[in-house]
Copies of this chain bind each other. A is one copy, B any other.
Amino acid sequence: MSELEISNITKDYGATRALHPVSINVERGEFVTILGPSGCGKSTLLRILMGIARPSAGEIRLAGTRIDPLPPETRDIAMVFQSYALFPHMSVGKNLSFGLRMKNVPSPERARRIEHALEICNLTGLVERMPRQLSGGQQQRVALARAIVMQPRLLLFDEPLSNLDAKLRDTLRQELVYLHRRIGTTSIYVTHDQAEAMAMSDRIVVMDGGRVVETGTPLDLYRAPTRAFTAGFLGQTNLLTADADGTRARLPWGQLVALSAQAKGIARVSVRPETIAIRQDDTGAGTVTSVSFMGANALYTVGIAGTTLKVSQAGGESLIAAGSRVSLDFNGALHLLKDRELPEAA
């Protein structure tokens, strides 16, 4: 029995179906990210878990108990909102004690838990402040502290970092990971940022159009996605069709590469830009059409054999100028996609 069992949850808003039957199991202590583009139903699912929206069908069990009919305040779940949703009329301390008072936690215990949460979230000294007197990052941490002070069975995060700027997002992402490691609360984290998902999660659930597309560890999903959607959404990729002759397939520039699994005929594969080596070569078959310097690496687009490929060059000490002829080289195994067709553009 998993800690959280989401079984065949659907949600209809009038005629539109926001969630097709969705089933997800989360183990105790796991940090699971739900990743998907805007509008794919991530928030809807979280809200159903929290109890502030009701499912049209399906059931949810937390630690074996069915919770979907329960009102939110009885669910033992806490949530960190994208907007933080701090109570603007309460100080940081009051925000933190609110939930404990609602659950009638006795005063000394309350003080102890608040103290602890403040410390964990680096908020000591800010107890008296009002939310509007805090920076975005501090507000974010208060929202987090307010949730963990409840010591819930399940923690939900709805894109909690998306309102922060890049630098701060990086810092807080790190802090969140440490925090989870420390308190170990089972967590579901919603985001549309693949970097965030990969950096933080034990497991990623990829969603699209109200459906679960694929589930796996960040590594598995990045390296061996089985769906074009996953491949394209988790980082950059080249979605290609290759002629397979059983164990090997031919890439557009003619190279023959081993397949991870047997296939014959048209094989659909995803080739990551960083798995292709690029080399300036006046007799090469490809032409660089653009170069983007990204700091730690350079990103090229290369026209070759009628297709355009993205190629990433780590370090990129010496950039290859646009217009140069290049030759490409893939090494590794090709992972087959299970989609029937590839999308028009990645």
Could you list which residues of chain A lie within 8 angstroms of chain B, going by C-beta atoms?
37-38, 165-167, 174, 177, 192-195, 198-199, 218-219, 222, 233-236, 272-275, 290, 292-297, 299, 312, 314-315, 317, 319, 332
- The smallest C-beta distance from A208 to any residue of chain B, in angstroms, reads 12
Contact B167 A319 (CB under 8 A): no
Assuming A165-B192, A166-B192, A194-B166, is B315 touching A296 (CB within 8 A)? Answer: no
- Closest residue to A219 on the B side, CB-wise? B293
Q: Say whether B219 contacts A192, CB under 8 Å.
A: no
Residue of B nearest to A170 (CB): B236
Q: A275-B315, A314-B315, A315-B314 are in contact. Are A293 and B166 (CB under 8 A)?
A: no
Check B166 against A295 for contact (C-beta < 8 Å).
no
Nearest CB on B from A31, distance (A):
13
Chain B residues with CB below 8 A from A317, complex form:
332
How many copies of the shown chain assemble into the complex?
2
Instruction: Collect the chain B residues with CB atoms within 8 Å of residue A174's CB.
Output: 290
Q: Which residues of B contact A195 (CB under 8 A)?
A: 166, 294-295
Are B166 and A294 in touch, CB under 8 angstroms?
Answer: no
Give the CA-CA distance A317 to B275 in the complex, in Å.
10
B-chain residues with CB within 8 Å of residue A294 when the two chains form the complex:
195, 198-199
How far, in angstroms, from A294 to B273 measured CA to CA in the complex? 14
Contact A314 B293 (CB under 8 A): no
A289 to chain B, nearest CB (A): 10
Neighbour of A319 across the interface among B165, B219, B312, CB < 8 A: B219
CB-CB nearest in chain B for A235: B295
